[in-house]
Chain A
């Protein structure tokens, strides 16, 4: 990595724990992990830039978004193969494609099931450009404001239930990870 590249700290202890949870999951599922040996500051929630290779499509680090400086690398040989792999996820917020051939860019971006597709760049935003996802990333996008507020009221209770469910699920996973550390 370029020596001028800086990576900031993770924004909370909880998120750092989530990232560590995923690193553990990645290792357990058989992916190979490469991590920078750079020293970390003593204070703050830091995570080293991390790469995974030998990742299978079914691995959770390939299916779920980690929200950390972690890259899960899958390889491909043909266009069809990479489209198949890229679309094999319940989510579809954004995607990126890198190639030096313009017509190939459009071939790829047309077939990828994602709300935003970047070509030869990533994470570009602009107030005049829409941002939203396909599939499970795109809940309640594109409905009018009034409906949105209304739906929100109706869904508040459901939402609380879901948060509870997620907490329970994460609690169990955390327990497992921590017991493994002991």
Chain B
């Protein structure tokens, strides 16, 4: 007996697969979702926007994140802080290295997305390579910046007095608009190198790489909540980024003077640290430095008593 059955015009084989191949397969399009607490939710607001490239081609349906999404992200960033900052510095370095490995493995996808967003093939390749190298660079710094920026202070009294950098906490970041991958990696890496956790608003006009980068983060060993990535409009979210009282520092990477003024005013009221990276060229050497790590560190000085019997000196 013939094993295939005929139902109207469709031929179905025993295992359910169509025997005759149709002309064109329907491509599965990627849903660009946001990244909060190691999960990929859609925006709670249900809003989307469609960025277009220079020739007017629609890039994707991208989540238009709301204030509530931001607040959820801050909650997971705060929750992840003690665990991440409590990791051994060497282990943080291993995790950053692993992120670079994962990024290397998906190079082609990033180049593809960058070229969709108007970059030439050569420029896209350069940007992805630099982004990978930047992660490696900061992976190396994880267990080294403390030694360089720490000090033992020669106080006059009999105390062992030392100052060490410690992570400030949750950092909100409005990422660079143009260098949508390299800029994003360059601002996230020093923050997490130092043990902070962050909530990042990706480039509004070129958001594709940020979502794919969050998939890289998810498949590396980075604990959920250490990096949270939102897509949406800085014009809508930037003020909440500075307003939120459980955020310790805010990084802004654009030149918009009205936003900078707004951030200065708000931070003057709630005493949040604000850091502007609007003049940095991420493609050059100035785009990577341990001083970027120090921007989101606090200095703690400890006075520890030293036994000093009857005014004994330090002689041998």
Contacts and interface: CB of A to CB of B under 8 A. Distances in A.
A106 B303 CA distance: 10
Contacts of B300: 109, 114-117, 134
Contacts, number: 87
20 contacts: A109-B304, A113-B298, A116-B302, A117-B300, A119-B303, A119-B305, A121-B305, A124-B155, A124-B303, A126-B157, A126-B161, A128-B161, A129-B155, A130-B163, A131-B301, A134-B168, A134-B298, A139-B271, A142-B294, A155-B264
Contacts of A92: 298
B298 A115 contact: yes
Interface in B263-307: 264-265, 268-271, 273, 294, 298-305
Given A117-B300, A119-B305, A128 B268 contact: no
A128 B301 contact: no
Interface string A25-56: 00000000000000000000000000000000
Contacts of A132: 299
Contact of B163 (A129, A135, A136, A159): A129
Contact of B159 (A109, A124, A141, A161): A124
Contact-residue bracket for chain A: 35 or more
A67 interface: no
Nearest to A157: B265
A151 to B, nearest CB: 8
Contacts of B269: 158, 162, 165
Contacts of B76: none
Interface of B: 151, 153-157, 159, 161, 163, 168, 245, 248, 264-265, 268-271, 273, 294, 298-305
A162 B153 CA distance: 36
A68 interface: no
Contacts of A159: 268
A128 B302 contact: no
Given A126-B161, A129-B163, A116 B268 contact: no
Contacts of A141: 299
A128 B157 CA distance: 11
A158 B263 CA distance: 11
Nearest to B272: A136
Nearest to B265: A158
A118 B303 contact: yes
A117 B161 contact: no
Contact of B153 (A113, A129, A134): A129
A116 B303 contact: yes
A155 to B, nearest CB: 6
A120 interface: yes
A136 B301 contact: no
Contacts of A128: 153-156, 161
Contacts of A161: 265
Contacts of B301: 115-117, 129-131
Contacts of B245: 90
A16 interface: no
A126 B151 CA distance: 14
A159 to B, nearest CB: 7
A154 interface: yes
Contacts of A82: none
A102 B302 CA distance: 13
B112 to A, nearest CB: 41
Nearest to A102: B304
B155 A154 contact: no
Given A119-B305, A124-B159, A130 B299 contact: yes
A129 B161 contact: yes
Contacts of A69: none
A135 B247 CA distance: 10
A150 B212 CA distance: 39
